[in-house]
Amino acid sequence: MPDSAAPPTAPDWLQAGMDHLWLPYTQMRNLPTPLPIVSAEGVRLHLPDGRSLIDGISSWWTVCHGYNHPHIRKAVVEQIQHLPHVMLGGLVHEPVARLATRLTAMLPGDLDHVFFSESGSVSVEVAMKMAIQYWINRGVAGRHRFVSFRFGYHGDTMACMSICDPDEGMHGLFAGCLPEQIIADVPRSTEQRAAFRQLLKQRRGEIAAVIIEPLVQGAGGLKMYDAETLAFIRQACDAQDHLLILDEIMTGFGRTGTMFACQQADMVPDIATFSKALTGGTLPLAATVATRRVFEAFLSDSPSTALMHGPTYMGNPLACAAAHASLDLFEREPRLQQVAAIETRLRDGLSACRGLNGVLDVRTKGAIGVVELDRAGEANWLKPRLIAEGVWVRPFGNIVYLMPPFVIEPVDLDRLTAAVVKVVSDWSRERA
Ligand SMILES: *Cc1c(COP(=O)(O)O)cnc(C)c1O
């Protein structure tokens, strides 16, 4: 089995570019050449040598309607013909104004005020600034720490790293340069709940907000917890008057079976962040949305209480047009039914991994299927074998997972689960 998945007929830009590109999460020495992709349609990625792969992970969970959807493409083309971009400082435009109106109408409760940015990490940074300044504006000093959770993931910038899982978030490597936060266990058990309540009470004067990914923790280990636990977290925050931030960047827009994961717990966060599937995986856009109570803490006769943040490309009209088109598709097409059908098929398809030697757990939620192995560092063994099965699946740590586009046909979904079952079974046998 070759280590590299490089095609026999590599295009001329590939090697030349690889001498200069610095890739994400990648040791650049002796790097197997990444797969060149020339086009993508629906759930398929096309390579220059004529091969195509079924995408099992939706380009970091963004491409919910499949690649190159004609409705989104048309909306972006129309937008680029009259207003590709204009700054949002002192100016405003229709796509961004309508998107704020549309998003807040979809969101539960009084999540009514939208601050746009261009990446998930920035939207989380903005949420953190909002929470800290909320207390400052209210005349309360010293509340600048965050309670976040083991296995959480909130982005790669400095403040985001500080609230990630300590191992996955590289807290060791960056020790001394990251703000120190309070990392808790997700309060599933009675004991953990008592400890969580205690923590919120004891350290109340330091805490700006609690931040968590609702129902499914993503890149920190794809751990899941139930709606009742999320409702408990809301109640525990309310009891001590703490702000609760939900990071819906991965879960938002249908991935867990409802439009937003918080709806399953019938609760409303004080601040929520969105990005990944917001534009259906076409253009970068993120949103930090605050409730009226949070927003109103920034209103005064003084400029000093204003939120001092403003990404250059915030509210980019092309990205907003793509987001509108993506939301049209959620309205017109049965996306949530598709997610429910995917959940059943993932559960059935992946169940063959259960009980295999070395498999710790198999779990599903919405259009997310996870096989957890008993040791990390197996990705390099697994990846080329998955590609050889004709699928694009990118294991990380000890996790092999599927998060396909919602439009995937049952036959393609079965190919994805069959590929995972085959490769994990081979792995399980080989390690014995
Ligand atoms: C991906 C992700 C982020 C970071 O978003 P970027 O756009 O990569 O900066 C933050 N939080 C969660 C839950 C994510 O899944």
66 is in an annotated binding site: no
Q: Please give the distance of CA 156 from its chain centroid, rounded to a whole number.
A: 12
Is residue 4 over pLDDT 80? no
User: What CA–CA distance (Å, rounded) separates 254 from 335?
Assistant: 7
Residue 1 has pLDDT above 70, yes or no: no
Closest CA to 365 of 239, 219, 217: 217
Q: What is the pLDDT of residues 379-425, one digit of tens each?
A: 999 999 999 999 999 999 999 999 999 999 999 999 999 999 999 99
**Encoded tokens for 378:** 């197996």
Using alpha carbons only, give the angle 190, 196, 199 rounded to the nearest 5 degrees: 145
For residue 352, the CA-to-ligand 1 centroid distance in Å is: 31
Considering only CA atoms, which residue is closest to atom 3 of ligand 1? Answer: 155
401 catalytic, yes or no? no
Residue 5: which pLDDT band, with cuts at 50, 70 and 90? low
25 is catalytic: yes
In angstroms, what is the span from residue 123 Cα to ligand 1's centroid? 9
pLDDT band, very low/low/confident/very high, at 2 (cuts 50, 70, 90) = very low
Burial of 384: CB neighbours in 10 Å, binned 0-12, 13-18, 19+: middle
**At 184, which helix (H) or strand (E)?**
strand 182-184
Q: Which residues are near ligand 1 (CB < 6 Å)?
A: 119-121, 124, 153-155, 213, 218-219, 247, 249-250, 275-276
Please answer whether residues 377 and 358 qualify as being in contact, where contact means their C-beta atoms are separated by less than 8 angstroms.
no
Q: Give residue 404's region: left, alpha or beta (phi > 0; psi -120 to 50).
A: beta
Active-site residue flag, 247: yes
Tell how far the Cα of 386 is from the centroid of ligand 1, in angstroms: 25
Residue 272 tokens, joined: 């929520």
Q: What mean pLDDT is reported for the chain?
A: 96
CB 249 within 8 A of CB 211: no
345-376 pLDDT, tens digit per residue, is: 999 999 999 999 999 999 999 999 999 999 99
312 is known to lie in a ligand binding site: yes
Whole-Å CA distances, 392 to 14, 226, 243, 307: 19, 29, 39, 41
CB 215 within 8 A of CB 251: yes
Catalytic residue selected from 67, 134, 153, 225: 153
* 178: its two tokens: 């990251």
Which residue has tokens 């400029």? 303
**254 annotated as ligand-binding:** no
Closest among 354, 356, 370, 345 to 425, alpha carbons compared: 356
pLDDT, average across residues 83-96: 98
Annotated catalytic residue, options 55, 165, 225, 276: 276
State if pTM tops 0.85: yes
Q: Give buried/exposed letters for 298-332 (b at 16+ CB in 10 A, else e).
A: eeeeeeebebeeebebbbbbbbbbbbbbbbbbbee
Q: Are 174 and 111 in contact (CB under 8 A)?
A: no
Q: What is the pLDDT of residues 234-282, one digit of tens each?
A: 999 999 999 999 999 999 999 999 999 999 999 999 999 999 999 999 9
Residue 206 CB neighbours (<10 A):
13
By DSSP bridging, strand 359-365 and strand 368-373 are: antiparallel
Atom of ligand 1 nearest to the CA of 124: 10
377 is in an annotated binding site: no
